[in-house]
Amino acid sequence: MLLATLLLAAATGGWVPVDPENALVIDSTKGRVVVQLEPTLAPLAVERVKQLARMHVYDGLLMWRVLDTPAEAFIQTGDPGNVDVGRSSLPDIKSSFTAQLPVAQITFAKTGLEPEGFYRGIPVGTQIVAEDATTVRAWGAYCPGTVGMGRDTNPDTENAEIFLMRGTTRWFDHDYTAIGRVVAGFDAVLAAAVGVPPAHPDVMKRVSVLADLPVASRPRVEVMDTQSDEFRALIDSARSMRGSDFSVCDVDVPVRVSP
């Protein structure tokens, strides 16, 4: 899919299980999608999508806006009523465009005015990191697979809408709350019918928190440790291949899934 994926066969680094309490399982008409949620980046939004999943608000909703252009490529869904910025019965929440993250837990892949890297497997952009800093202001990077929270023009109007990135749209960075990334089923994201709305839109048949699935039928999802030497080697190889055009979106964090 991305450059670093080509090197997956050679990767032997440590693997970190995705926390079942912070993972969303979307069973769609195109297949199953698993989203790793990151509450440190967006505590209110992560708690909200888990709450809505447990209320079954997302079940049966359409992937009613699916774009596939060089500028914008994403699936918009989660809107009750299948309308733009559709709202649930719950009140709006405040956005979490940025978060203070511990510098020691970020694996930096690119330096410059806005250094980029990975935090617990999630691609992030950051401010310049001072030498003595222990934390840094960071935001989710809108790479393929990143999942964000929709909103109205007012920043603090997040409610139920979510969107799953099919491509790279970095102008979304620190303008929309990033809640995690797709770690399994990205092929289903790419296969969704395109249109606004599509002639035959795909459906989120059921959305669940991974921890709520029966243990016997719960997939085990593991992400390569993004602080491992093996992952740093993937970054180095992708950077070498891309040269000056390199960005954090050129590195796809390896994932393995067991039934």
Residue range 10-39, pLDDT digits in tens? 344 599 999 999 999 999 999 999 999 999
Given this model, what pLDDT does residue 9 score? 36
Q: CA 179 to CA 44: how far, in whole Å?
A: 9
Q: Which residue has the higher pLDDT, 58 or 13?
A: 58
pLDDT tens digits for range 146-202:
999 999 999 999 999 999 999 999 999 999 999 999 999 999 999 999 999 999 999
Among candidates 120, 90, 77, 86, which has minimal Cα distance to 207?
77
Break the chain down into helix, strand, coil percent, rounded to 5. Answer: 25, 35, 45
Residue 113 scores a pLDDT above 60: yes
Higher pLDDT, 194 or 86: 194
**H runs (alpha helix) in the chain:** 43-54, 186-191, 229-242
Cβ neighbour number for residue 19 with a 10 Å cutoff: 15
Can you give the pLDDT at residue 13?
57
6 vs 68, which has greater pLDDT? 68
Highest mean pLDDT, choosing among 75-79, 127-131, 132-136: 75-79
pLDDT at 1 > cutoff 80: no
Separation CA 150–CA 132 (nearest Å):
35
pLDDT exceeds 70 at position 234: yes
CA dist 20 and 84 (Å) reads: 30
In the chain the domains, ranked by start, together with CATH numbers, are 3-7+20-249 (2.40.100.10)
- 6-15, 43-52, 120-129, 184-193: segment of lowest average pLDDT: 6-15
